[in-house]
Amino acid sequence: MKKCIFTLCLFLLPLWGGRVGLLYSIEKVESPSLNLTAYFDVQEGRPVYWLLHKGDTVIRPSHLGLTIRGEKGRTDFNDFGTKERPTEEVNGLLSGFVMTGSERFIHDSWWEPVWGEERRIHDSYHEMLITLTQPAKERYIQIQFRLYDDGLGFRYIFPQQKNLNYFVIEEEQTEFAMPGDITAYWIPGDYDTQEYEYTRSKLSEIRAIQENTNKANLSTTTFSTSGVQTPVLFKTNNGLWMNIHEAALVNYSCMHLNLEDNHVFTSHLTPDIDGTKGHIQTSATSPWRVIMVGETAKDILASRIVLNLNEPCKIEDTSWIKPMKYVGVWWEMIAGMRDWSYTWDFPSIHIGVTDYSKAKPHGRHGATTENVKRYIDFAAKYGFDGVLVEGWNIGWEDWFGNEKDFVYDFVTPYPDFDVEGIHDYAKSKGVKMIMHHETSGAIRNYERWLDTAYQFMRKYEYPAVKSGYVGNILPIGEHHYSQFMNNHYQYCLEKAAKYHLMVNAHEAVRPTGLCRTWPNLIGNESAQGTEYQAFGGSVPNHTTMLPFTRLIGGPMDYTPGIFENDIHKLNPNSHSWCNTTLCNQLSLYVTLYSPLQMAADLPENYERFRDAFQFIVDVPVEWDTVYYLEAEPYEYVTIARKQKDKNAWFIGSTNGYDPRTAMIDLSFLPAGQKYTATIYADAKDAHYRNNPQAYTITTKTVTSKSKLRLFTAAGGGCAIKIVPKQ
Ligand code: NOJ
Ligand code: CA
């Protein structure tokens, strides 16, 4: 099935000793179907690229390169006790270049993900590999461009050589010169959180909007009021859609974009503890910088460029990696109805010091054996694969303490959580337990315990762990998205693979398609999730943005399924409101793709709406293929999926602020057959604030010629299940 063609045209090689040839022409590469053209040139010693879509400029001429320190190798560096940092190199890897090589490759293949939105993925690109030599420094780097029909990926390659062994990145200076004052869909730059709502504005408005937000003190580690995070979505003034992100973020710092004058974004890497942007030992590569381009917003959803730019799967036996639908002892704590901690005694001091068996319980602990068994029963009754339990292990009394470096051990349960008994009970019911590791950002502590914690999971047959990184990172001064932390997330993921464990990391760096290489990364949060509905409420259109932005890099553990909007009913002290209709919540199981889907509400709330809950019971987490039906970021999104190995189709339409009629064309269904559609729709008078639980459930005979017109309320949506008619 695999078809790979490689062709190579070698123009010139970077050779020292008299054989350095120079290329003077502008280099170009075209995408397989010729819709995109990327150009490369060296202008006054500086590398420059630009990108055209059918003759239209999408990226204006933009510089490439990096400023660095300590270029001459390790011996220059601070190895001998001197306090001096390596000094910044004049021009670094920024200028003084001549082009000494330009090669071309063609690639065309298909590959099968372990799990994903579709069974097979087409990987087809034209590559241009440029070699850039700095004669004055007697060294060279390469820039690798891969042009797909759905976008451009490029990265820096730092080959190992006499004059380039080790260096510190001062800043990556990649530019993205946008084609004018276009519309951006963005969240502000931040080294430590992505849990923001999206703003739609012109580029020229970004700074003022952020300055006003900063006045309200909403942002914590924003580095600049014109910084944004990726994936960032754009609509050009000619109606093209673009998205800038990165792929394969490994052993490197996470990239932000900073808007400079003249609508030019420059890369801004997350600093490490000493303020530099990363430590490179050659041979090395940067992550791919990705510019997705589409004629419609649906093209952005259909693009697989980020996955394609990642390495193939590195796990040989993947039989243990299984998508899961789960419930959990979670929303009760998020809503403030129960607690993660066990005792009033505060602080708990440190591991081994507090005797929890003598501590005074406050009686609001969520992870009690009894409560967990209730969730196991519920999961077994409705066919859920797993039960997540948070707050099962000691340490929660102390997790904001200064000494949190020693809070958790990830293996000692609270006295009222019977780990053995729960394991046996879940097993007897055919339900898997999902582990929870809240690291509280204490990285050394977590790494210290990691093997023990993963062995504990194996012993009690937990197939997956939800890890979390709430709060400031320890060591103090590190940020959530620095090279150091990205290496930590990778370390956990690879170690988990060795133990055959799946990972769903919250507050970790945004995903960049690494789930292709490490498919045991079955989830990430890395954006504002459902929890914010209990922290004051999310804006009703938040989930209409996620498929076009956050989900570009990989699936999100969004944890949908809240049926009871009024958090006050769970917690008298809360006045939060979940700003969606019930049908909007159902739609999310289809529109927010994830191999890991939670039914986040309490069992009793599902029993109250038993008929609507049936959609969550029925919706699968494994798919054969996807059909993007309607897409207008910030407004609405409608997606259909075919269940893996089954003749069943599921449709979700997620709506934002304005009530509308979703136009659902069923022509993706195989023709010549009749089907039964079960339609979960907002009632005519439904509204996310005033009447969120008003819905209708109807059945209808449909064919591939049917076109459904379905009302979706403000903050509303609809969900449909289609099966062949009996
Ligand atoms: C934040 C996570 O997003 C949430 O899901 C979790 O319950 C808490 N941290 C506690 O770890
Ligand atoms: Ca979170």
The pLDDT tens digits for 598-636 are: 999 999 999 999 999 999 999 999 999 999 999 999 999
pLDDT of residue 398: 76
Query: Measured in angstroms, how far is the CA atom of residue 194 from the centroid of ligand 2?
Result: 9
Residue tagged 């005694």 (tokens): 345
Active site residue 531: yes
Of 577, 348, 566, the residue nearest 340 (C-alpha)? 348
Q: pLDDT tens digits, residue range 218-276?
A: 445 667 889 999 999 999 999 999 999 999 999 999 999 999 999 999 999 999 988 88
Query: Measured in angstroms, how far is the CA atom of residue 469 from the centroid of ligand 2?
Result: 8
Atom of ligand 1 nearest to the CA of 529: 3
459, 422 Cβ separation under 8 angstroms: no
Query: Measured in angstroms, how far is the CA atom of residue 528 from the centroid of ligand 2?
Result: 7
Ligand (nearest to CA of 438):
1
Query: Measured in angstroms, how far is the CA atom of residue 330 from the centroid of ligand 1?
Result: 8
Share of the chain above pLDDT 70, in %: 90
Ligand (nearest to CA of 196):
2
Average pLDDT over residues 689-714: 98
* Most informative mutation of 338, 438, 596 for ligand 1 (most atoms within 8 A of CB): 438
Q: In the predicted model, is pLDDT for residue 499 greater than 70?
A: yes
Q: In the predicted model, is pLDDT for residue 692 greater than 60?
A: yes
* Most informative mutation of 326, 333, 506 for ligand 1 (most atoms within 8 A of CB): 506
Atom of ligand 1 nearest to the CA of 507: 3
- pLDDT band of 18, cuts 50, 70, 90: very low
pLDDT of residue 559: 98
Q: In the predicted model, is pLDDT for residue 120 greater than 50?
A: yes
Query: Measured in angstroms, how far is the CA atom of residue 193 from the centroid of ligand 1?
Result: 13
Half-sphere exposure of 329 (CA within 13 A, CB side): 27
Atom of ligand 1 nearest to the CA of 438: 11
Burial 452-489 (b: 16+ CB within 10 A, else e): ebbebbeebebbbbbbbbebbbbeeebbbbbbbbbebb
Contacts of residue 347, Cβ cutoff 8 Å, sequence gap at least 6: 397, 398, 401
Q: Please classify residue 604 by burial: count the beta carbons closer than 10 Å to its beta carbon, then call 0-12 exposed, 13-18 middle and 19+ buried.
A: exposed
512, 247 Cβ separation under 8 angstroms: yes
462, 386 Cβ separation under 8 angstroms: no
Residues whose beta carbons lie less than 5 angstroms from ion ligand 2: 506
373, 333 Cβ separation under 8 angstroms: no
Average pLDDT over residues 214-218: 57
191, 481 Cβ separation under 8 angstroms: yes
- Token pair recorded at residue 616: 């969550």
Rounded-to-integer distance, Cα 557 and Cα 538, Å: 16
pLDDT of residue 350: 54
Atom of ligand 1 nearest to the CA of 506: 3
Mean pLDDT of the chain: 92
Q: Please classify residue 651 by burial: count the beta carbons closer than 10 Å to its beta carbon, then call 0-12 exposed, 13-18 middle and 19+ buried.
A: buried
632, 297 Cβ separation under 8 angstroms: yes
Rounded-to-integer distance, Cα 71 and Cα 140, Å: 12
Q: In the predicted model, is pLDDT for residue 217 greater than 70?
A: no
Q: In the predicted model, is pLDDT for residue 417 greater than 50?
A: yes
Rounded-to-integer distance, Cα 195 and Cα 191, Å: 11
Average pLDDT over residues 664-675: 98
Q: HEC profile for 306-345?
A: HHHCCCCCCCCCCCCCCCEEEEEECHHHHCCCCECCCECC
pLDDT of residue 291: 99
Rounded-to-integer distance, Cα 68 and Cα 110, Å: 38
Average pLDDT over residues 480-490: 98
Q: Name the DSSP letter for residue 618.
A: H
Rounded-to-integer distance, Cα 563 and Cα 609, Å: 8
Give the least confident one: 8-17, 378-387, 495-504, 607-616: 8-17
Q: In the predicted model, is pLDDT for residue 348 greater than 70?
A: no
* Most informative mutation of 196, 531, 533, 557 for ligand 1 (most atoms within 8 A of CB): 531
Q: Are strands 432-438 and 386-389 parallel, antiparallel or unpaired?
A: parallel
* Most informative mutation of 470, 530, 558 for ligand 1 (most atoms within 8 A of CB): 470
Query: Measured in angstroms, how far is the CA atom of residue 389 from the centroid of ligand 1?
Result: 11
Q: 3-state DSSP call for residue 261?
A: helix
Average pLDDT over residues 431-454: 96
- pLDDT band of 9, cuts 50, 70, 90: very low
- ∠ CA 444-450-456, rounded to 5°: 145
Q: Please classify residue 447 by burial: count the beta carbons closer than 10 Å to its beta carbon, then call 0-12 exposed, 13-18 middle and 19+ buried.
A: middle
- 484 or 85, which is more confident: 484
Rounded-to-integer distance, Cα 491 and Cα 484, Å: 10
- For ligand 1, atom 3, name the residue with the nearest CA: 506
Ligand (nearest to CA of 340):
1
Report CA 254 to chain centroid distance, whole Å: 12
pLDDT of residue 89: 72
Which one from 89, 390, 531, 635 is the annotated catalytic residue?
A: 531
Atom of ligand 1 nearest to the CA of 525: 3
- ∠ CA 670-671-676, rounded to 5°: 75
335, 605 Cβ separation under 8 angstroms: no
Ligand (nearest to CA of 338):
1
Query: Measured in angstroms, how far is the CA atom of residue 719 from the centroid of ligand 1?
Result: 28
Contacts of residue 668, Cβ cutoff 8 Å, sequence gap at least 6: 627, 640, 649, 704
Q: In the predicted model, is pLDDT for residue 21 greater than 60?
A: no
- pLDDT band of 2, cuts 50, 70, 90: very low
Q: Which amino acid is located at 420 in the chain?
A: E
The dihedral built from the CA positions of residue 644, 647, 648 and 653, taken in this order, carries a sign that is: positive
Ligand (nearest to CA of 480):
2
Atom of ligand 1 nearest to the CA of 468: 11
Q: Please classify residue 169 by burial: count the beta carbons closer than 10 Å to its beta carbon, then call 0-12 exposed, 13-18 middle and 19+ buried.
A: buried
pLDDT of residue 220: 53
Q: 3-state DSSP call for residue 150?
A: coil
Ligand (nearest to CA of 437):
1
pLDDT of residue 23: 57
Assessment of whether the complete model's pTM goes beyond 0.75: yes
Give the least confident one: 137-146, 210-219, 557-566: 210-219
Q: Which long-range contacts (CB under 8 A, 24 or more apart) does 260-266 make?
A: 260/226, 262/177, 263/177, 263/178, 263/179, 263/180, 263/181, 263/182, 263/203, 263/204, 264/62, 264/175, 264/176, 264/177, 264/178, 265/175, 265/176, 265/177, 265/178, 265/228, 266/173, 266/174, 266/175, 266/176
Q: HEC profile for 398-438?
A: HCCCCCHHHCCCCCCECCCCCHHHHHHHHHHCCCEEEEEEE
Rounded-to-integer distance, Cα 574 and Cα 563, Å: 17
Element (H, E) at 168: strand 166-172
- Token pair recorded at residue 614: 């049936």
Q: Name the DSSP letter for residue 135.
A: G
Residue 502 has phi, psi (to 5 degrees) of -95, 150
Q: Name the DSSP letter for residue 86.
A: P
Average pLDDT over residues 340-352: 71
Q: pLDDT tens digits, residue range 277-331?
A: 999 999 999 999 999 999 999 999 999 999 999 999 999 999 999 999 999 999 9
pLDDT of residue 401: 54
Half-sphere exposure of 454 (CA within 13 A, CB side): 18
Which residues form the pocket of ligand 1, taking CB atoms under 6 Å from any ligand atom? 330, 390, 438, 468, 470, 506, 525, 531
Residue tagged 């049926």 (tokens): 563
Of 171, 358, 167, 184, the residue nearest 255 (C-alpha)? 171
Q: In the predicted model, is pLDDT for residue 355 greater than 80?
A: no
- Token pair recorded at residue 666: 């069923």
Query: Measured in angstroms, how far is the CA atom of residue 310 from the centroid of ligand 2?
Result: 26
Average pLDDT over residues 146-162: 98
Average pLDDT over residues 163-180: 95
- pLDDT band of 12, cuts 50, 70, 90: very low
β-partners of residue 39 are 28, 50
pLDDT of residue 609: 98
Report CA 163 to chain centroid distance, whole Å: 37
Q: pLDDT tens digits, residue range 125-136?
A: 999 999 999 999
- pLDDT band of 402, cuts 50, 70, 90: low
Query: Measured in angstroms, how far is the CA atom of residue 397 from the centroid of ligand 2?
Result: 19
Average pLDDT over residues 397-403: 64
- For ligand 1, atom 11, name the residue with the nearest CA: 438
- pLDDT band of 72, cuts 50, 70, 90: very low
Average pLDDT over residues 469-488: 94
Query: Measured in angstroms, how far is the CA atom of residue 579 from the centroid of ligand 2?
Result: 18
Q: In the predicted model, is pLDDT for residue 665 greater than 70?
A: yes
C-alpha distance from residue 88 to each of 22, 122, 192, 251, 517 (Å): 28, 43, 26, 21, 35
pLDDT of residue 88: 65
Residue tagged 């507050």 (tokens): 507
Atom of ligand 1 nearest to the CA of 559: 5
pLDDT of residue 286: 98
Q: pLDDT tens digits, residue range 553-580?
A: 999 999 999 999 999 999 999 999 999 9
pLDDT of residue 25: 78
Give the least confident one: 213-222, 357-366, 635-644: 213-222
Average pLDDT over residues 12-40: 73
- pLDDT band of 359, cuts 50, 70, 90: confident
Residue tagged 């990172």 (tokens): 473
Rounded-to-integer distance, Cα 121 and Cα 315, Å: 18
Atom of ligand 1 nearest to the CA of 436: 11
Share of the chain above pLDDT 90, in %: 85
- pLDDT band of 15, cuts 50, 70, 90: very low
